[in-house]
Amino acid sequence: MMGSTVRIEQVDVANKDQVRRFVEIPYRLYADDPNWVPPIKGDIATMLNPKKHPFYEHSDADFFIAVRDGRDVGRIAAIENKRFNDYHGTKEADFYLFDCEDDSEAAEALFNRVFEWAAGRGLDAVVGPKGLSPFDPYGILERGYEYRQTMTMLAYNHPYYIRLAEENGFAKEVDFISHLIDPSSFVVPERIFRVAERAAKRSGLRVHRFSSRLDIIRWAPKIARTYNKAFIENWEYYPLTDAEIDFVVKQIIPVAKPDLLKIIVDADEEPVGFVFTFPDVSEALQKMHGKLMSRGTISLLRQLHRSRAVVANGIGILPEYQRRGGNALLYAELAETFERAKFEQYELTQVAETAVQMRRELVSIGGIPHKNHRVFRRTL
């Protein structure tokens, strides 16, 4: 590895061949890993396209490839989320889409390029992995390599990535913990149902169950307003724009089953909370090999309806309802979904370690922490 020089190339995002090279790197790195789930190549290419991704309406990103002896050995994205920094009063850059061979020199060159990029913009820290929206996966997988990647909702990487980050001066910022629930250990105490029933009567809350994908689209603007109020205390939060909301909805629709998405509404039919669960279609995504139009697409459609495993990637309620029985209503809905469909596995993804109460509640209903994703920080 040390006999040749690593060169860092910035991707010209208008050059299709350079974008393709950037997108393809992890497909080679994980070609023989049975637990890696390939993202749709077009989705990653969109992240590099300022004309298609709404992030670029308010912020900036550049992309880099590490090349050794004419071969692409790593990649990284450098991001300045101006909307996040404005909201939190910070001057941070983020790194994302970091993939690299077990090559300390290449990793150092990639990270140094991000540090230079950030310093040149007057930023004082680099945090990551952290994507272009709060719905992109966070962190480097630190524990849980024996489990298959949860679709593309969670990041997956080789174990040596942690070492590469630490070698370059990164230290832990926050951990995101995912919990696995087995039906045999899933227990929602009876008192939760009683509290949920009282909350529904006293606060006029009820559960809206979606009847179709069109129904989801109709409710999207209201749900977005709730998101922009419900997660204001979260580490990763910043208010989404209307364009970002539309973009997320379009991403969700293809893997959504309407009966698994639920919102809690008040007496005025305004959303105050939500429980978003999705069929785990990771096996079908592996068969698609990153191509949307492929034989694997048939498997995707089939698995949407037959999957015995589901993933919760979005549970929240407005702060003012959390102590009025709203949380109980959320967990009662989880129980109803789990029982009705007879799922064999339920995964609740990426709860920040700072959400102490929610993590405690998940463990109390049978959640077993099984994956940990670590976000890192380096001060410049």
Q: What is the pLDDT of residues 111-129, one digit of tens each?
A: 999 999 999 999 999 999 9
Residue 378 maps to a domain: no
**Domain with 250 in it:** 183-371
Other beta carbons within 10 Å of 235: 15
Q: What is the pLDDT of residues 326-376, one digit of tens each?
A: 777 777 877 777 776 677 778 888 888 887 777 887 787 788 899 999 999
CATH of the domain at 39: 3.40.630.30
Together in a domain, 160 and 223: no
Residue 379 maps to a domain: no
Together in a domain, 340 and 194: yes
Higher pLDDT, 115 or 283: 115
Together in a domain, 96 and 188: no
Please state the pTM of the whole predicted model: 0.89
Count the domains in the chain.
Answer: 2
Q: What is the average pLDDT across 225-241?
A: 75
Boundary of a domain, candidates 157, 176, 195 = 176
Together in a domain, 105 and 228: no
Together in a domain, 130 and 199: no
Instruction: Give the residue among 322, 329, 341 at the shortest CA–CA distance from 277.
Output: 341
Boundary of a domain, candidates 150, 176, 202 = 176
Boundary of a domain, candidates 146, 161, 176 = 176
Alpha carbon separation from 274 to 37, 65, 125 (Å, rounded): 27, 39, 34
Q: Any residues with CB less than 8 A from the CB of 101 and at least 6 apart, and which?
A: 29, 73, 74
d(CA 164, CA 167) in angstroms, rounded, equals: 5
Residue 138 maps to a domain: yes
